[in-house]
Structure 1
Amino acid sequence: METFLVVARHSSIRRAAAQLHITEAAASAAVAHIEKQLGAKLIAKHGRGIALTDAGRVYAGYCRSILGLMKEAHAAVREAETGRLRIGVVSTAGEYVLLRLLASFRNRYPDIDIGLSIQPRDLLFIELTHHETDLVIAGRPPRDNGLVIRARRPSRLVVVSAPGQWPDPLTATWLLRGQGSGTRDTTLALLDRLQIRPRTLTLGTHGAVRAAAREGLGVTLIHSDAIENDLAHAQLEVLDVEGTPLDRPWHAVTTRTPTPTARLFLTHIMDTDQVGAHAFRAARA
């Protein structure tokens, strides 16, 4: 299954074999063996590479969940303080929320092996659904997907620009995050409510959008956590826009059966004695 997933990820037998440090013949044979067992074609030639068939896409989803559950099961039987913790986080929360929490957690539990996945919100919740991460810190997860919000931390979205550059934000260029970003979706929803169709510029990453706003390229909707230093040094200013600021708390999310290390991390980030004002609060059932 692992070989098949690597082949699916790269859309190439050759690149998959190189990553796995096996021969192309071995990688091809592994996929052919699975196809024979299932009685279905999983891959097909596509241009110079390969692509998943409909059956292959279905099978890949199950493989991700099965392998994720196997890793989760291995972690569940270890001692929590010596196990592995896989955290998924959106880039803004990664830079301005998680690092402080992670530093104190590492000092408290130095034997826990920590892995980070920094992705757009939508991809993070897919990874969590497939048990490829243990805990996600991001905006609100989609409803009816079996995920559980365990804790929240207050945060607001505000509209900002370089000081004095855009006195009327409704006529400004709006700077957007990339596809899959919760902030991008919220920005587009805000523009709909304001009934405006301004020029937009998509810059992809949080850092690029923030830097562009500082340079006067436009205005942007951004988490207040990310701009404390910019406001203090007068590099950005908060603009008065109808409907803002928006309450958009950070959520700590797990599956219905969190791993021991995920439970330990949740306990830590809700401990005000350990993390002070940056603590999360337990979510109501």
Structure 2
Amino acid sequence: MTTNVRLRSLVEVADTGSVRGAAERLFVTESAISSALSTLSAEVGVALVDRHGRGVRLTPAGVRYSEYARQILGLHEEAVLAARGEAEPEHGVIRFAAVTTAGELLIPTMLASFQEAHPGVECKVHVGPRTAVWPMLTRHEVDVVVAGRPPADVDYVRVQARSPNTLVVIGQPSLAEHFDAAKATWLVRESGSGTRATMAMVLEELEIAPRQMVLGSHGAVVAAAVAGLGVTLVSRQAVRRQLDAGDLVELPLVGTPLDRPWHIVTQSQCTGSTELLIKHLAAHRELGWDQVG
């Protein structure tokens, strides 16, 4: 059993919370996972897991080691893809992660254009909240992130391109004449959403604490706003169709609209296939991306 397999076994136990869950994900027996954990603990020289009831859990040392394991596995996969991409960039792989709104609004058009020009490149996409996608880049689990501005603690990455994005408050047309932010019900995105964090900042700066309804996604909050359940802060580009149709209107609020451009961020050293993507975006300005640097 290779070191990578042992590291993957530890990471899967950390993610699933059980040997059985890890075995199911890796399509191996539970005894194989237990053996991998025992060997890995012996190599490291400290216990990485211990018994907890009928199962196991990571020790503090195991939790810390699993963080490095994720980076090692991600960097190894990135190295393999970089080597293959250097030899044949037109037949490489690009691993994307995008925040939810970007995944719905930007990724489909971008990938359709890129794949038409480079059909041999395989594109893998993970869509999730802001708090999930940036750690994936740090751990080298993805090559490209499409999201808002990178957090200050994300190192060794490169902003490749930006695209305009404006956040506005929207609601039903009937709210426009007498809109009161403090009395409205605010439709809130899922935990970890960057838009949710921005909304919280706006309301805090206004020193108001209105009623809130938490929904699970960008699509859910927009549908709820159309249905008249409340108001929300969204990307103007993402609701252009509803605004043009008159189903929603922009509502006036101090501090808005907000300029929050989208960013394409890569590892500091790109794979050959990722370089093809960046060149494609620069050559196709109709996709709305401006190169940085």
TM-score by length of 2: 0.92
- The verdict on how the C-alpha distance between 1:40 and 1:151 changes in structure 2, with shifts beyond 3 A counting, is same
Residue type of the partner of 1:162?
Q
In the TM superposition, 1:8-87 aligns within 5 A as 8-78=14-84, 79-87=88-96
**Residue of 258, 275, 279 corresponding to 2:288:** 279
| Matching residue of 2:240 | 228
- Aligned residue pairs total 281
CA contact (8 A) 1:160 1:220 kept: yes
Residue type of the partner of 1:142?
P
In the TM superposition, 1:244-259 aligns within 5 A as 244-259=256-271
Q: 1:245 offset after TM fit, Å?
A: 0.4
1:141 aligns with 2:150: yes
CA contact (8 A) 1:165 1:216 kept: no
Q: Distance in 2 between matches of 1:86 and 1:141?
A: 17
3-state secondary structure, aligned to 2:256: coil
Q: Distance in 2 between matches of 1:145 and 1:95?
A: 24
| Matching residue of 2:224 | 212
Q: Distance in 1 between matches of 2:123 and 2:20?
A: 31
| More divergent stretch after superposition (212-221 vs 144-153) | 144-153
Residue type of the partner of 1:20?
L
3-state secondary structure, aligned to 1:77: helix
CA contact (8 A) 2:134 2:154 kept: no
What are structure 1's unaligned runs of at least 5 residues?
none
Q: 1:19 offset after TM fit, Å?
A: 1.9
| Matching residue of 2:184 | 172
**Residue of 89, 105, 117 corresponding to 2:98:** 89
| More divergent stretch after superposition (142-151 vs 236-245) | 142-151
3-state secondary structure, aligned to 1:270: helix
Q: Distance in 2 between matches of 1:142 and 1:5?
A: 24
1:200 aligns with 2:192: no
Q: 1:46 offset after TM fit, Å?
A: 3.6
1:106 aligns with 2:115: yes
CA contact (8 A) 1:169 1:239 kept: no
Residue type of the partner of 1:81?
E
CA contact (8 A) 2:48 2:61 kept: yes
Q: 1:105 offset after TM fit, Å?
A: 0.3
3-state secondary structure, aligned to 1:164: helix
**Residue of 105, 116, 126 corresponding to 1:117:** 126
Q: Distance in 2 between matches of 1:8 and 1:219?
A: 39
- The verdict on how the C-alpha distance between 1:144 and 1:50 changes in structure 2, with shifts beyond 3 A counting, is same
TM-score by length of 1: 0.95
| Matching residue of 1:158 | 168
- The verdict on how the C-alpha distance between 1:175 and 1:46 changes in structure 2, with shifts beyond 3 A counting, is farther
Q: 1:21 offset after TM fit, Å?
A: 1.8
Q: 1:221 offset after TM fit, Å?
A: 0.3
Q: Distance in 1 between matches of 2:207 and 2:270?
A: 42
3-state secondary structure, aligned to 1:145: coil
Give CA deviations for 1:86-141 in whole Å, capped at 9, x if unaligned.
01001111111121111010000000111001011121010000000000000111
Residue type of the partner of 1:143?
A
